[in-house]
Amino acid sequence: MFAKTVTLVANTDTLIDLGETCDGFVITNQTATALHVNIDQVAEADADGSILVPASGTREIRHRGQIVHAISTGTPKVEVLGYRRSPR
């Protein structure tokens, strides 16, 4: 498992690079400001294709990638956990 915690800069597409390709991500928004994310693509607030992580919420994204793009109108603290599936 790979993990990073960052504080976003308001209205800026922030890249959170876990350094390894992951099979999925668990993203936790630790503050009272909503944010939008995308995997390996630019995130845009309130745009089609970007995934909402609500204020004080968690979202699992089962999509292979390495870099989580995140954006918010505020400056939320965000925890990103990347995981790999075990071979069966």
User: Measuring CA to CA, which residue among 82, 38, 32, 37 is closest to residue 57?
Assistant: 32
- Give domain status of residue 29, yes or no: yes
- Give domain status of residue 88, yes or no: no
- Give domain status of residue 49, yes or no: yes
Q: What is the CATH number of the domain that holds 9?
A: 2.60.120.10
Q: What pLDDT score does 48 carry?
A: 81
What is the number of structural domains in the chain? 1
Q: What pLDDT score does 86 carry?
A: 79
Give the chain's radius of gyration (CA, Å): 12
- Give domain status of residue 24, yes or no: yes
Domain hosting residue 76, numbered range: 2-83
- Give domain status of residue 12, yes or no: yes
> How much is the pTM?
0.91
Please identify every stretch of the chain with a pLDDT value under 70, giving residue numbers as ranges: 88
